Amino acid sequence: MSTPSALVSKLWNYCSILRDDGLSYGDYVEQLTFLLFLKMADEQAKPPFNKPSAIPAGHDWPSLLARDGDELETHYRHVLEQLGKRPGLLGVIFRKAQNKIQDPAKLRRLIVDLIDKEEWSSLDADVKGDAYEGLLQKNAEDVKGGAGQYFTPRPLIAAMVDVVAPQPGQTICDPACGTGGFLLAAHDYLAKHYALDRAQKKKLKSGTFFGIELVDSVTRLCAMNLLLHGIGGDSGSNVAAASRRSSEGDQSRDGSATPLNSGEQSRDGSATFDMPVVTKDALAGKHGEYEIVLANPPFGKKSSVTIVNEAGDTSKESLIINRDDFWASTSNKQLNFLQHIFTILKQHGRAAVVLPDNVLFEGGAGETVRRELLKQADVHTLLRLLTGIFYAQGVKANVLFFDRKPAQEKPWTTKLWIYHLRTNQHFTLKENTLKRSDLDDFVACYFGQSGSEWQRRPAAE
């Protein structure tokens, strides 16, 4: 039986060969995503599964196995192009897909020797899912590639989810989902802590998790990550179910998922899209309401656009977000995400958000946002993090926990409990990485289980 570490090692070792051809880690993981999806769809169409597949004949896995040399490279390019035009999950995973493996012999080896040799559908979801997560983490560790901005340290995610403690039936959203870490952790928490009945398990696969991602190439990684972990299908065969919906569904002009009601909120106030992850600008407008929001919005204070004039000179102009449901108009991305997250929370909904120090202390729009948040939400917990745990170097970050509340005259926030992880701690990305056990005391104190005088209480009394 293959283990996640063995699979990661097997797949990753081949990457070093492709690196000689100039292929980046990110390119390699992306090509693996395309090929894994095709292989698993082919497996699901055969006994004992016998599931119908939406991948057209001639663009499927057998069509790749039957070719070699330049013919294989040309056909693979054509397959990616055609599948990228399909609706639904097929369109999400293959949208704007390109073949980055220019050597047909190496492409053939990747298909025949590495991927075709493994029966992926027979592997436990934890095995293939954890293997894919391992590849994403290795990709994030490649500092030059910049993929770390889409990857939040998993121990921190696990602690945040433990504190929020989602319950079956609750909708969970990450409006800056990257490769899907928060959604997967919430899925694992629910599966581990509750004995789910059949209906609840079905809801867990489809209708519980919702991710928004701005970048196409990251969306496809997230979609595949969720799919391999069993999220995104309404039957035992997630690939078959997802690809089947692709042939039945519809697609918007930009290739992303079509909202349930043409961009309007669904009747129950839940998400306005029916796939676990879509490509769109979350800040462009409200996309539903959820019981729980977990997020690590992108670092970087300003949203800007590069302008090129007739002489070829470039300049950057700030992009100020103006929304009627925001408390302040600003180009600060973190402040905009914080406001956006409040708007997509249902009444009494709960949020846990990673934010840099400047959001806590900045004046102007920052002060306005903080004042309104303290008034309209119960901002109850602040976890202060130290540098060395994020792939964005030197960032001093925090996790803010708050619950949305109904309107009232008095501010909802009366006490704020602050936990300093920065005290007598030092973490690095390689030698001394953050572990889940490093956050055990925080979680225990939060629930008042530590027996310590520092268990959850107001910062000043």
CA distance 362 to 247: 49
Do 218 and 91 lie in one domain? The reply is no
Rounded to 5°, the CA angle 191-194-199 comes to 80
Residue 302 pLDDT > 60, yes or no?
A: no
Tell me, what's the pLDDT at 252?
Answer: 39
Same domain? 148 vs 124? no
Q: Are residues 84 and 25 part of one domain?
A: yes
CB 406 within 8 A of CB 347: yes
Q: Indicate if 68 and 182 belong to the same structural domain.
A: no
pLDDT band at 243 (very low <50, low <70, confident <90, very high): low
**Is the pLDDT score of 17 beyond 50?**
yes
Q: How many domains does the chain have?
A: 2
Average pLDDT of the residues in 99-128? 87
Assigned domain for 452 exists: no
Residue 457 lies inside a defined structural domain of this protein: no
Statement to judge: residues 169 and 115 lie in one domain: no
- Residue 132's pLDDT is what? 80
pLDDT of residue 291: 98
Judge if 9 and 158 occupy the same domain: no
In the predicted model, what is the mean pLDDT of residues 118-140?
Answer: 78
Mean pLDDT for 65-84 is: 95
Q: What's the pLDDT score for residue 461?
A: 37
**Residues 157 and 42 grouped into a single domain:** no
- Nearest one of 272, 322, 1 to 131, comparing CA atoms: 1
pLDDT bracket for residue 456 (50, 70, 90): low
User: At residue 342, does pLDDT exceed 80?
Assistant: yes
pLDDT score, position 123: 78
Say if residue 16's pLDDT is above 60: yes
Q: Domain for residue 461, yes or no?
A: no
Q: Please, are residues 174 and 151 in contact by the beta-carbon 8 Å criterion?
A: no
More confident residue, 147 or 95: 95
Asked whether residue 230 carries a pLDDT value surpassing 60, the answer given is: yes
- 425-444 residue pLDDT tens: 767 666 677 888 989 999 99
Q: Report the CATH number at residue 17.
A: 1.20.1260.30
Cβ-proximal residues to 260 (8 Å cutoff; 6+ apart), any chain: 266, 271, 272, 273, 274
- Minimum mean pLDDT among 22-26, 36-40, 375-379: which range? 22-26
CATH of the domain at 360: 3.40.50.150
Residue 431 lies in a domain: yes
pLDDT of residue 357: 86
Point out the domain boundary residue: 130, 151, 183.
Answer: 130
Residue 396: the pLDDT is 81
| Rounded-to-integer distance, Cα 383 and Cα 426, Å | 16
pLDDT of amino acid 451: 55
Q: Report pLDDT digits (tens) over 345-372.
A: 999 999 999 998 888 888 999 999 999 9
Confidence of residue 392 (pLDDT cuts 50, 70, 90): low
Lowest mean pLDDT segment, chosen from 20-34, 66-80, 247-261, 405-419: 247-261
Do 156 and 66 lie in one domain? The reply is no
DSSP 261: B
Lowest mean per-residue pLDDT among 115-119, 339-343, 344-348: 115-119
Residue numbers of the domain that contains 88: 4-130
Q: What does pTM read for this prediction? A: 0.80
The most confident of the ranges 20-34, 270-284, 368-382 is 368-382
Q: Has residue 269 got a pLDDT over 60? A: no
Stretch 377-392: mean pLDDT: 83
Task: For 149-167, write each residue's pLDDT tens digit.
Answer: 556 888 899 999 999 999 9
The pair phi, psi for residue 383, each rounded to 5°, is -100, 115
Residue that wins the pLDDT comparison between 50 and 326: 326
- Kindly state whether residue 459 falls inside one of the protein's structural domains: no
Asked which of 103, 130, 157 is the last residue of a domain, the reply is 130
Question: For residue 144, is pLDDT > 80?
Answer: no
d(CA 239, CA 250): 18
Residues 124 and 183 in one domain: no
Give me the sign of the Cα torsion angle 197, 237, 208, 391. positive
H-only helix segments in 52-194: 61-65, 69-83, 88-94, 104-109, 125-141, 154-164, 181-193
The more confidently predicted of residues 112 and 247 is 112
Is residue 454 assigned to a domain? Answer: no
Fill in the DSSP letter of residue 377: E
107's tokens: 């492409």
CA distance 300 to 336: 12
Question: Does residue 324 share a domain with residue 375?
Answer: yes
Q: Which region among 108-122, 235-249, 319-333 has the lowest average model confidence (pLDDT)? A: 235-249
Classify residue 410 as left (phi > 0), alpha (psi -120 to 50) or beta. beta
Is the peptide bond between 406 and the residue preceding it cis, with omega within 30 degrees of 0? Answer: no
Is 301 within 8 Å of 332 (Cβ atoms)?
A: yes
What average pLDDT does this structure show over 193-214?
92
Last residue of a domain, one of 130, 152, 186: 130
pLDDT-derived band at 395 (thresholds 50, 70, 90) equals confident
399-411: average pLDDT: 95
Question: What pLDDT band is residue 377 in, cutting at 50, 70 and 90?
Answer: very high
Do residues 101 and 150 both lie within one domain? no
Instruction: Grade residue 133 by pLDDT with cuts at 50, 70 and 90.
Output: confident
pLDDT at 218: 86
Q: Is residue 272 part of a domain?
A: yes
Q: Is residue 460 part of a domain?
A: no
**Does residue 297 or residue 130 have the better pLDDT?**
297
The answer to whether the beta carbons of residues 171 and 287 sit under 8 Å apart is no
DSSP string covering 25-53: HHHHHHHHHHHHHHHHHHHHTSTTT----
Q: What is the mean predicted confidence (pLDDT) over 226-236?
A: 66
CB 3 within 8 A of CB 124: no
Q: Is the pLDDT of residue 216 over 70?
A: yes
> Are residue 326 and residue 377 in the same domain, yes or no?
yes
Q: What does the mean pLDDT of the chain come to?
A: 81
